[in-house]
Amino acid sequence: MRIVVAPDKFKGCLSAPEAAEAMCRGVKAALPSAEINSIPMADGGEGTVEAMVFATRGAYHPAAVTGPLGEIVCAQIGLLGDGKTAVLEMAAASGLVLVPADRKDPRITTTRGTGDLIKAALDLGVSEIILGIGGSATNDGGAGMAQALGARLTDSSGRDLPPGGAALKDLAAIDVSAIDSRLKNCVIRVACDVDNPLCGPKGASAIYGPQKGATPEIVAELDAALANFHTVIQRDLNRSVADIPGAGAAGGLGAGLVAFANGTLEPGVGLILNAVNLPARMEGALLCLTAEGAIDASTAFGKTAVGVARVARKLDVPCIALGGMIGDGAEAVLHEGIDAYFSIAPGPGSLEDAINLAAPRLERATESVIRAFLAGTRSVRR
């Protein structure tokens, strides 16, 4: 019996590979003869590099890059098992987790480190880069990333712009003649699960600026700066990127990746599913098990568990989901390919226990699901 195990992370307690290992133990406890295909999953956010390296038997390459406040931080590049594809998380270089709470200021934070990370991946000779852009601390439209890759962004006096989103109000010219030529031969696919435009009431500054430390006055300043940024991009690069769905992701990094690196913005879950070759690896399986920290109404809007389940449904493979908690509206997932869902919690308990006992609880819940599934298949055979 072949069983696919394809969980996402349980945020704050289990990485996707750790969740997959716990579920595999549960499967083996109930069915020692099972052939298990373990495929940790991700959606392009935190944990994407780890999940994809594990799923493809790839390798890690450390890179020293510029942090959001200009300091040097260590990030990881994942080189997938094909040896030709790198997977990156912009949050590892330019993420909000790298900024102390009392220093949040999207006027000065930079995506330069994300550009450093792309250069380091190019140094590995890859022909494709998958870049997750969740969790940013920035609002510079990818200007710092572009500068790290060799673009010049200058003011009316010909001086290079300083870091940060606020500086874009002074942008007068863009010169990409010295941008890294290797970008022409590398496909950059951006895992992006929002559709915000670059500017305006639903743009990068208005929607995501406040969580990065922007007051209403700063939001207005940054929005005007991004509007000027786009005006110069249109004139000097002959590209219109402001209204591309996802242009406003990661403080406008979505727009910058399209404008400067010819990136394509794609739904994160679908991109990862294809990158780890989930459809082919699920073909002919008797059962698919997926899991994530919470299953609720939002799960049905394309989170990882539903992305896995939709693949299973196309292949006529039953799919069961396990969650650290079951929230309001969880029943919506039953219309998206998940055949049944269960909580791993044995009953009421503390948050501390939920975190500390997540692995053994996930293992036991998986064992119970497999035993119930086997009982059902025996009944059908009769």
**Are 142 and 208 contained in the same domain?**
yes
162/308 same-domain check: no
Does 126 map to a domain? yes
Q: pLDDT value at position 382?
A: 54
Q: Taking 60 as the threshold, does the pLDDT of residue 380 lie above it?
A: no
Let me know whether 27 and 60 are in one domain: no
Largest CA distance in the chain: 83
Average pLDDT over residues 325-352: 91
- Looking at the fold, whether 224 and 329 belong to one and the same domain comes out as no
* Euclidean distance between CA atoms 70 and 250, whole angstroms: 18
Does some domain include residue 345? yes
Same domain, 216 and 114: yes
Is residue 141, in this structure, part of any structural domain at all?
yes
Query: Quick check: is 293 in a domain?
Result: yes
Instruction: Please tell me the predicted confidence (pLDDT) of residue 143.
Output: 98
* Cα(377)–Cα(382) distance, integer angstroms: 9
The pLDDT tens digits for 14-28 are: 999 999 999 999 999
pLDDT at 215: 96
Residue 98 inside a domain? The answer is yes
Nearest Cα neighbor of 214 from 136, 317, 312 is 136
Shared domain check, 319 and 262: no
Are 180 and 74 contained in the same domain?
A: yes
Domain boundary among 269, 291, 312: 269
Q: What is the mean pLDDT of the chain?
A: 94
Q: What secondary structure letter does DSSP report for 95?
A: B
**Which of residues 269, 297, 315 is at a domain's end?**
269
DSSP of 1-21: -EEEE----BTTTB-HHHHHH
Are both 233 and 215 inside the same structural domain? yes
Query: Are 264 and 351 within one domain?
Result: no
Q: Model's pTM, two decimal places?
A: 0.86
Distances (CA, A) of 71 to 66, 166, 183, 293: 6, 19, 26, 33
> Does residue 255 sit in the same domain as residue 284?
no
Structure tokens at 184: 């022409």
Supply the pLDDT for residue 338: 97
Query: Span 324-338, mean pLDDT?
Result: 94
Judge whether 364 lies within some domain: yes
The mean pLDDT value for 202-218 works out to 95
Angstrom CA distances, 75 to 64, 154, 155, 307, stand at 6, 28, 31, 28
Would the pLDDT of 268 be above 90? no
**What is the mean predicted confidence (pLDDT) over 112-135?**
97
- Domain end, chosen from 269, 293, 310, is at 269
pLDDT band at 12 (very low <50, low <70, confident <90, very high): confident
Could you tell me the pLDDT band of residue 300, with boundaries at 50, 70 and 90? confident
pLDDT of residue 46: 82
What percent of the chain lies above the pLDDT cut of 70?
99
Is 17 found in the same domain as 84?
A: no
Q: Torsion angle of alpha carbons 233, 237, 239, 244, nearest 10°?
A: -50
pLDDT at 286: 96
- Split into its structural domains, the chain has a count of 2
Q: Are 238 and 121 a contacting pair, CB within 8 Å? A: no
For residue 322, what are the domain limits? 2-41+279-381
Q: Tens of pLDDT along 43-65?
A: 887 888 998 998 899 999 999 99
Percentage of the residues of the chain whose pLDDT score is greater than 90: 85
Q: What is the CATH number of the domain that holds 359?
A: 3.40.50.10350
What is the spatial distance between Cα 109 and Cα 68, in angstroms, rounded to a whole number?
A: 5
pLDDT (average), residues 195-204: 95
| pLDDT of 202 | 95
Integer Cα distance of 6 and 282 in angstroms = 10
Higher-confidence position of 378 and 193: 193
CATH label of the domain that carries residue 233: 3.90.1510.10
What's the average model confidence in pLDDT over 327-342?
95
